Homo-oligomer: A and B are copies of this chain.
Amino acid sequence: MRKDQLNMKKITINSVAAYAGVSKKTVSRVLNNEPNVSDTTREKVLKAFKELDYTPNPIARGLARNRSFIIACLYDNPSKSYITRLQSGALAACHEHGFNLLIHPCELRGEALLENIEQLLQTSRLDGLVLTPPFSDHADLVAFLRRKNVPFARVASVKLDDESISVRSNDEQGAYEITELLIELGHKDIAFIKGHPDHSATEQRFNGYRRALEQHHIAYQERLVEEGNFSYHSGADSAQTILHLEPRPTAVFASNDYMAAAVLKAATQMDLKVPDDISIAGFDNAPIARHIWPGLTTIAQPVEDMTRLAVSHLIEQINKSDSEENEEDSGPLQITLEAELICRESTAAPKI
């Protein structure tokens, strides 16, 4: 059968088989790089692929193999830049492996979460799930997914002590370094604004702050610590308290850049010069950190890399569990990437 005889009809595995003069099963073998196909046959089929411009139908394939080639990325994160970076890393890995990415924003709080996820699983027949903060350490969710036997990977989770895929950055170390920077500049009264309690990063960053103080023999002062929730607003509230303390701290380390930006705004409104009158540091290296004046000293995490790695390993696991039927979990996979300190204009030695 010649190509033009097909006359623009949909190209299916049957057309290819007919064109190449083999059975559709053989075409399928070539498609999936299965062994036991002679070189000459394989080449005939590959030639047919090219000449017919054939693309296998992922839906049919999915039906036959009970797979959707779709993974979903769960998030409930206030930071747009964080989300888009997550997505971009996840997409890169998905494309590499021929998967598609579904994004699924949903709320951490509320009874409905598990139902919501269950419905997502039911209706989309996902092959796997990527948990991003604050879901990465949601014990109920993790237990639920284990019970349902749904492959998943966690991004920026704290808990390293289990057998699932998890990629994180070293938040504790980052916070340590930024605090140490302030200390070495000569600051002693360093205020700290905590993040959202649901995020495990919150505790990590706080720990880094405390460890740096301790290491440098500076007493921890509870009065300098405010509760925030990563939002700009919460930063603004905390700033009001912190900037009116007596004596006023000479530096503020906020757990993310939005809160740091809010502190900067509040300080500017109070006619405090940054960094002369007060130093400010953030975390995350969000775009705003370099879009304001002065630019924020902060910590850059390799968010794209984290997600890319997580998704990549997730897909590997999916593919593996597909071929081997034995349920040996191919071992845990825990990766920790380093974060990078970025110095901008918002930090300097205190003017005595």
Contact = CB atoms under 8 A, between A and B. Distances in A.
A269 interface: yes
A60 B88 CA distance: 30
**DSSP majority for the A interface?**
helix
A57 interface: yes
Contacts of A55: 122-123
Contact of A125 (B57, B125, B268, B293): B57
Contacts of A63: 57, 59-60, 63
Interface residues of A, number: 40
B91 A84 contact: no
Contact of A291 (B60, B265, B268, B293): B265
A83 interface: yes
* Complex copy number for this chain: 2
B101 A102 contact: yes
A100 B102 contact: yes
A149 to B, nearest CB: 12
A311 to B, nearest CB: 14
A60 B63 CA distance: 6
Interface in A53-92: 55, 57-60, 62-63, 68, 70, 80-81, 83-84, 87-88, 91
Contacts of A62: 59
A22 interface: no
17 contacts: A55-B122, A58-B123, A58-B124, A59-B125, A60-B63, A70-B100, A80-B80, A80-B83, A80-B84, A87-B103, A88-B105, A100-B102, A102-B102, A261-B292, A265-B293, A291-B292, A292-B292
Interface of A: 55, 57-60, 62-63, 68, 70, 80-81, 83-84, 87-88, 91, 98, 100-103, 105, 122-125, 232, 258, 261-262, 264-265, 268-269, 287-288, 290-293
**5 closest Cβ pairs, A-B complex:** A265-B293, A80-B80, A55-B122, A80-B84, A80-B81
